[in-house]
Chain A
Amino acid sequence: MSILRRRKASETEKASKEDTHKETKYKGVEDEKKDKISKRKVEEKKKKWSCIDSCCWLIGCICSIGWFLLFLYNAMPASFPQYVTEAINGPLPDPPGVKLQKEGLTVKHPVVFVPGIVTGGLELWEGHQCADGLFRKRLWGGTFGEVYKRPLCWVEHMSLDNETGLDPSGIRVRPVPGLVAADYFAPGYFVWAVLIANLARIGYEEKTMYMAAYDWRLSFQNTEVRDHTLSRIKSNIELMVATNGGRKVVVIPHSMGVLYFLHFMKWVEAPAPMGGGGGSDWCAKHIKAVMNIGGPFLGVPKAVSGLFSAEAKDIAVARAIAPVFLDKDVFGLQALQHFMQMTRTWDSTMSMIPKGGDTIWGNMDWSPEEGYACNPQRQRNNETQVAGQSGTEGLSYPKRVNYGRIISFGKEVAEEHSSKIERMDFWDAVKGNNLGNTTCRDVWTEYHDMGWGGIKAVGDYKAYTAGSILDLLHFVAPKMMKRGDAHFSYGIAENLDDPKYNHYKYWSNPLETKLPNAPDMEIYSMYGVGIPTERAYIYKLTPAAECYIPFQIDTSAEGENEGSRLKGGVFSVDGDETVPVLSAGFMCAKAWRGKSRFNPSGIRTFIREYDHAPPVNLLEGRGTQSGAHVDIMGNFALIEDIIRVAAGATGEELGGDRVYSDIFKGLGSLILWETVDGVSEEDMHFSLLPGLGEMNKLI
């Protein structure tokens, strides 16, 4: 711009000089006349060359440069980035699809993908005035352009009805169907795309691949009630089996899709009004294998913090999508409150609340991960299996962490012995005296109904285990949990033959259902390990919680040394960044192993773990050996396993279990710890670790 201005200045200077020059030189009348005319012309021109013109010039400049770059980009051969990468890193390994194609693998079993929470796209079919022109445009997934353009409208359309958990009136937001639903979450951020591309190499195409897209905001049974999604999946699987010569399907659920498919397996065999009426051998006839990727079978602690204070920034991949929007204090827009209000209408988030209570997740003093130390991580990778020996671990013997206390108020509470914590029951606390709604604009969260008394009572209870966390959620979010109770259950079944377990609310809880009668079926649990994963939280009360959520993770709470498991108020354990190993692996490692009451027909289970290795450099993108919850979908080893099974291999041919974590040793090494403390093994087994005892009784 400054250049422009200067140029203009010089122009006027020149012009004025010219004028004086002219006046001295020309004397004739005619000449003067002509001169006047020409002067006027010059002036006119000068006037016209104004700000608008400079603007035009600038715009034109930018446009042209843009086009030029666009042209260059278009002219660039598609293989260019790859070429650069190879030049720097040396030749890339063949993608698994190509490798296996060379080995002669071809398409055999049809494949069904079940996407998880948050990854599926949602599009608008009917909306309010403010969403005009967005018909069949993606509200979720894609570029999220609308989030920025009209945030309130977006939140309104993404929310569900607070009472029914279905559509609010006048709004219909529906899942995007087909493979496009979840191949990319946002441009460039793949979810299923890599897997799809590799499967296509050995001959898969749309008739042999099916994306079971569903509205991940709804509770599982409601997807059937509203969209008939379960019926559609059933019909599609039947069709694929029929058109592929009777070959059974391989199902690949990811994240929450794992629970959704558990629900589906029960639903499809249940009789017609509530279920799909497929008969008791439907699964045996149609499913070859269920290959769960990063499955939160027993829930994730992150879900609790998400519901409690909307702070699970990275539940699945939400973090990646709209960092600005999700960050707390932007523009004072109360984004977090809005977000919380929205997510609390989503029933599905309640399916991820930790299941199995204290028995699985530990009580005030005990937890299954007790022996886990964060720094031996790397050692373990180096020394592989030797790390389990008592000798090495005896040296770096860490302080015990009470992972069982999923939420504790204050760091001291988290570390103190259970007998020293005085807990006040919060149920009696008086709710009421509404905090000023008016000053907080029109954002509504259920915390406003609680009143200060209630909030304080919650803080006074100090520590919450997986069992009492449910009471807490019932207390702070009664409406949500009322819906949740109708659709999900979090306990452990005493007697699985009890007829009450025919109700659909138990179907997505692996501890309250039997697996179907399909002895030929295989269940895989495939997940990443080697990344610290949220397991327990330290909370604090926010002072003067007028317009804010009264609870917050106490990010100032840090562990003493570097290797500590406590960072920023969060205790972490081994896992894939979202799902702890315990939740992902326990069912396949123990509860379903062999013939148990949860697995009466003896379906074979396999555990395949993938150790996390971060991408070497930036060019590799999200890495081919990642173990993170979503990035694992690009893990070559995992893709190879899936392709082999889809092409007909069994779990044994794949190499059976492949374990890096302590999932099998978990209980064993635990005993070791206690022996060091001077307690005999058996005592520990039955008295010190009541949870463990129960755990064993279970099976």
Chain B
Amino acid sequence: MASILRCRKLRYVEPVKCSTLGLESLETLKSSDKAEGGASAVVVNTINRSLPGKRRRRPTNDWRYIDWYCWMVGYLCTTWWLLLLLSHFLSGFQAPESPGSKLKREGLKALHPVVLVPGIVIGGLELWEGRPCADGLFRKRLWSSSFTENFRRPLCWLEHLSLDSVTGLDPPGIRVRPVTGLAAADYFAPGYFLWTTLIENLAKVGYEGKNLHMATYDWRLSFQNTEVRDQSLSRLKSKIELMFVINGYRKVVVVPHSMGSLYFLHFLKWVEAPAPMGGGGGPGWCAKHIKAIMNIGPLFLGVPKAVSNILSSEAKDIAFARTMAPVVLDSNFPGLQTLEHIMQVSRTWDSMMSLIPKGGETIWGDLDWSPEEEYNCDSEWKKNLKASSRDQSHKTNISDGQLGFRVKESVKFGRIISFGKMASKLPSSELRTFDFKDLSCGGASTKSNSSCGEVWTEYDELSRESIKEVAENKVYTATTILDLLYFVAPKMMRRANAHFSHGVAENLDDPKYSHYKYWSNPLETKLPDAPAMEIYCLYGVGIPTERSYVYKLLPSDQCRHIPFRIDSSTGGNNGRCLRSGIYFVDGDESVPVLSAGFMCAKGWQGRNRFNPFGISTYIREYRNKPPTILFEGRGLESSSHVDIMGNVALIEDIMRVAAGANGVELGGNRIFSDIIKMSERINLRL
């Protein structure tokens, strides 16, 4: 069956292939066949005239379209199978040695239990109770795996994935729960691996069910709500304690990915907090149970992508949602208002708000300044093209050289959202500022609903005037972006405010910081008292990553509920940072280096107020090297946000730590990007 499916895919994807087969006889046969079977007499005549004699009474009389169709399909299938077979054998010969078997030969053995914490969008969700339209889907996956339901009954599917827009928990009558176990996030869709490679390699040195655990949670909920509804945090705690005991009192190594790093940060605080709000593990819990936290592609300080996602649902590739349902997510699908639907659903997901950039202008830069300001896009692109063998000094030399003879116009990355390209470049003195409080939130255009289906977004409650005002405000930094979001999505932000905080703490001893809403913000919490613990930041670099956006205001339209859109017509000259409305910096395609590396590079470095007990931190960067041949699939040295999970160097690092190595033995920091320089520019009191 699988092969048939594959064939079908092939048919959809490569309908052109029949013409590239190179069999001219086929082509001619086909054309004459068409001529004779078809209704158009003109064509027949022309062919008759061009061909001598009675060739029109050719033996192909019996051949009909259906035969041709069958023939073609059969041909394509066979070729496809042959190719598949070939690639199967070839890959069998060419497969390089996996890090697992390499390290096994070195004598590494499973030592510390490993806990995997998946990120947003990655974990599977399954239905436990649903409306009548979801009949027969009990305990079937709604999210991840094949997404077939998505296509068969899209509205029903969206309804079941939404949460309640007031409480942020289940809507009545619907229970969608995370899939448990390793199967939850090993593959996202068939063939699209996530944790599989890592799990497979760990298994080679002896890991199995008793010392490998996937901490699944419902990634749509806010972190504290996963405990309220599913007791996910309690389960994780109990699981870690159990693994600690049954593996001979060896501490665990935690490997969070993407949003999982925030989730685990939350867990660290939760587990030591006293019982009603926290897990009651006592202040020594982390020191006793955790050896190392190896964050893969962490987004400690949030991602700018989250803003554009909330504002206009346009972050097509937050994590990799892009790959999953390209048709549905494409914005211009006629008539279906898909974007509005998506927005409505994703705004009920509290976890999205944990990704909003944290630390405000101190971290992300203000109107005139940003930590990345010396970032040179040109050199960055070139570096991508060439092999990554160039060392650090060489690269900086080149970019210095370029700076010398070219007037560098610094990009104002700090303006995360600007309306119009001009606004993104103007000096700050020419910008006008205003207060959101002056705006009237009138429900002006609520009547338009009837003509446009039943999609409702919060934009309907905003009057056209106030939307215009928003656009006229021109630019928003990481701090003012919060006000903007408050304005356009008040309900969502009200929920978010109860669960997340995005500021920088003045005084960490303030008792208010014992509230759970601060736990997932590294700038408002102290790390636990666990001096022997290690924190790693493992992330990819060398891929342009979204950092700030140029927006435009859409003309008023009855059925367009989202009035803002990324202005994809704007673009810099070739090689600039601005491309189709988006300014890019260095990162792993989703997370800018700043967000991934800053805490390890500076925020927690040494002993400071965020890290009062001196937990050692390490940065391990992995430079992108796209796959050289097709057989390699998604690459063994890729560094993009998700594909990095298959990066051989990263896997090796994780396995060494799991087998007992510490950060120093691993080789300490391994840095390719400008993260140190950037961090130095950030003026944060430590």
Residues of A near any B CB (own CB < 8 A): 7, 10-12, 14-15, 18, 21-22, 25-26, 31, 34-35, 38, 41-42, 44-46, 48, 53, 55-61, 63-64, 66-67, 70, 74, 78-79, 125-126, 135-136, 172, 174-175, 177-180, 183, 196-197, 200-201, 203, 205-207, 227-228, 231-232, 235-236, 238-239, 242-243
Contact A63 B77 (CB under 8 A): yes
Within 8 A of A (CB), among B156-191: 175, 177-178, 180-183, 186
11 A-B pairs within 8 Å (CB atoms) are namely A22-B54, A35-B53, A63-B77, A135-B200, A136-B186, A172-B208, A179-B139, A200-B138, A205-B177, A228-B246, A235-B241
Contact A63 B75 (CB under 8 A): no
- In the complex, the chain A residue whose C-beta lies closest to that of B178 is A206
A57 contacts across to B, CB distance below 8 A: 67, 70-71, 74
Is B327 on the interface with A (CB-CB < 8 A)? no
Contact A7 B138 (CB under 8 A): no
CA distance A238 to B25 in the complex (A): 74
Which of B55-63, B309-317, B356-364 contacts its partner? B55-63
Is B7 on the interface with A (CB-CB < 8 A)? yes
Contact B135 A79 (CB under 8 A): yes
A53 contacts across to B, CB distance below 8 A: 71
The DSSP consensus for interface residues of chain B is helix
Please pick, from A31, A79, A205, the residue contacting B175 in the complex, using a CB distance under 8 A.
A205
CA distance A269 to B67 in the complex (A): 73
Is B23 on the interface with A (CB-CB < 8 A)? yes
How does the 8 Å CB contact mask read for B409-453 relative to A, with 1 for contact and 0 for none? 000000000000000000000000000000000000000000000
Is B482 on the interface with A (CB-CB < 8 A)? no
CA distance A201 to B181 in the complex (A): 23
B199 contacts across to A, CB distance below 8 A: 136
CA distance A177 to B209 in the complex (A): 8
B53 contacts across to A, CB distance below 8 A: 22, 25-26, 31, 35
Contacts A63-B4, A206-B177, A228-B246 known; A48 to B23 CB distance under 8 Å?
yes
Contact B4 A67 (CB under 8 A): yes
Within 8 A of A (CB), among B54-103: 54-55, 57-59, 61-62, 67, 69-75, 77-78
> 3 tightest CB-CB pairs across the interface, nearest first?
A60-B74, A78-B136, A56-B74
Contact B129 A200 (CB under 8 A): yes
Please pick, from B58, B73, B135, B239, the residue contacting A78 in the complex, using a CB distance under 8 A.
B135
- In the complex, the chain A residue whose C-beta lies closest to that of B7 is A63
Known: A41-B25, A206-B230. 5 other contacts (CB 8 A): A34-B52, A179-B139, A183-B139, A231-B245, A235-B239
Contact A67 B8 (CB under 8 A): yes
A14 contacts across to B, CB distance below 8 A: 57, 59, 61
Most buried by B among A12, A35, A239: A239
CA distance A565 to B72 in the complex (A): 63
Is B554 on the interface with A (CB-CB < 8 A)? no
Most buried by B among A18, A21, A60: A60
How does the 8 Å CB contact mask read for B200-216 relative to A, with 1 for contact and 0 for none? 10011010111000000
A70 contacts across to B, CB distance below 8 A: 4
Is B128 on the interface with A (CB-CB < 8 A)? yes
CA distance A625 to B252 in the complex (A): 48
CA distance A231 to B241 in the complex (A): 11
Contacts A45-B29, A125-B208 known; A242 to B73 CB distance under 8 Å?
no
Contacts A200-B129, A228-B210, A232-B246 known; A56 to B230 CB distance under 8 Å?
no
Residues of B near any A CB (own CB < 8 A): 4, 7-8, 23, 25, 29, 52-55, 57-59, 61-62, 67, 69-75, 77-78, 128-129, 135-139, 148, 152, 175, 177-178, 180-183, 186, 199-200, 203-204, 206, 208-210, 230-231, 234-235, 238-239, 241-242, 245-246
- In the complex, the chain B residue whose C-beta lies closest to that of A61 is B70
A10 contacts across to B, CB distance below 8 A: 59, 62
Contact A74 B152 (CB under 8 A): yes
Contacts A196-B139, A197-B138, A200-B129 known; A207 to B230 CB distance under 8 Å?
yes
Please pick, from A48, A178, A242, the residue contacting B181 in the complex, using a CB distance under 8 A.
A178
CB distance from A274 to the nearest CB of B (A): 15
A26 contacts across to B, CB distance below 8 A: 53
A74 contacts across to B, CB distance below 8 A: 148, 152
Contacts A14-B59, A79-B135, A200-B138 known; A58 to B74 CB distance under 8 Å?
yes
- In the complex, the chain B residue whose C-beta lies closest to that of A67 is B8
A206 contacts across to B, CB distance below 8 A: 128, 177-178, 180, 230
Contact A60 B73 (CB under 8 A): yes
B61 contacts across to A, CB distance below 8 A: 14
CB distance from A205 to the nearest CB of B (A): 5
Contact B25 A48 (CB under 8 A): yes
Contact A60 B77 (CB under 8 A): yes
CA distance A48 to B8 in the complex (A): 26
Contact A177 B57 (CB under 8 A): no
B203 contacts across to A, CB distance below 8 A: 125-126, 135-136
CA distance A363 to B61 in the complex (A): 85
Contact B209 A174 (CB under 8 A): yes
Contact A66 B4 (CB under 8 A): yes
B25 contacts across to A, CB distance below 8 A: 41, 44-45, 48
B23 contacts across to A, CB distance below 8 A: 48
A177 contacts across to B, CB distance below 8 A: 181-182, 209
Please pick, from B29, B55, B242, the residue contacting A232 in the complex, using a CB distance under 8 A.
B242
Contacts A70-B4, A180-B181 known; A64 to B29 CB distance under 8 Å?
no
Contact B8 A56 (CB under 8 A): no
CA distance A67 to B5 in the complex (A): 8
Contact A136 B74 (CB under 8 A): no
CA distance A606 to B110 in the complex (A): 47
CA distance A60 to B199 in the complex (A): 39
Contact A60 B52 (CB under 8 A): no
Contact B74 A59 (CB under 8 A): yes
Contacts A178-B181, A205-B175, A243-B234 known; A60 to B69 CB distance under 8 Å?
yes
Contact A11 B59 (CB under 8 A): yes
A25 contacts across to B, CB distance below 8 A: 53
A61 contacts across to B, CB distance below 8 A: 70, 74
B182 contacts across to A, CB distance below 8 A: 136, 177
B136 contacts across to A, CB distance below 8 A: 78-79
- In the complex, the chain B residue whose C-beta lies closest to that of A193 is B139
Contact B177 A64 (CB under 8 A): no
CA distance A205 to B138 in the complex (A): 11
Contact B78 A59 (CB under 8 A): yes
CB distance from A175 to the nearest CB of B (A): 7
CA distance A205 to B175 in the complex (A): 9
- In the complex, the chain A residue whose C-beta lies closest to that of B129 is A200
B204 contacts across to A, CB distance below 8 A: 126
CB distance from A96 to the nearest CB of B (A): 15
Contact B70 A64 (CB under 8 A): yes
CA distance A48 to B29 in the complex (A): 12
CA distance A15 to B62 in the complex (A): 13
A242 contacts across to B, CB distance below 8 A: 234
CA distance A135 to B186 in the complex (A): 12
Contact A60 B234 (CB under 8 A): no
- In the complex, the chain B residue whose C-beta lies closest to that of A181 is B181
- In the complex, the chain B residue whose C-beta lies closest to that of A178 is B181
- In the complex, the chain B residue whose C-beta lies closest to that of A196 is B139
Contact B62 A7 (CB under 8 A): yes
Contacts A60-B72, A177-B181 known; A205 to B209 CB distance under 8 Å?
no
Contacts A126-B203, A172-B208, A207-B230 known; A200 to B128 CB distance under 8 Å?
yes
Contacts A22-B53, A22-B54 known; A239 to B139 CB distance under 8 Å?
no
Contact B73 A63 (CB under 8 A): yes
Contact B180 A59 (CB under 8 A): no
A78 contacts across to B, CB distance below 8 A: 135-137
CB distance from B52 to the nearest CB of A (A): 5
CA distance A135 to B187 in the complex (A): 14
Most buried by A among B52, B177, B206: B52
B239 contacts across to A, CB distance below 8 A: 235
B138 contacts across to A, CB distance below 8 A: 197, 200
CA distance A183 to B230 in the complex (A): 21
Most buried by B among A35, A67, A197, A206: A206
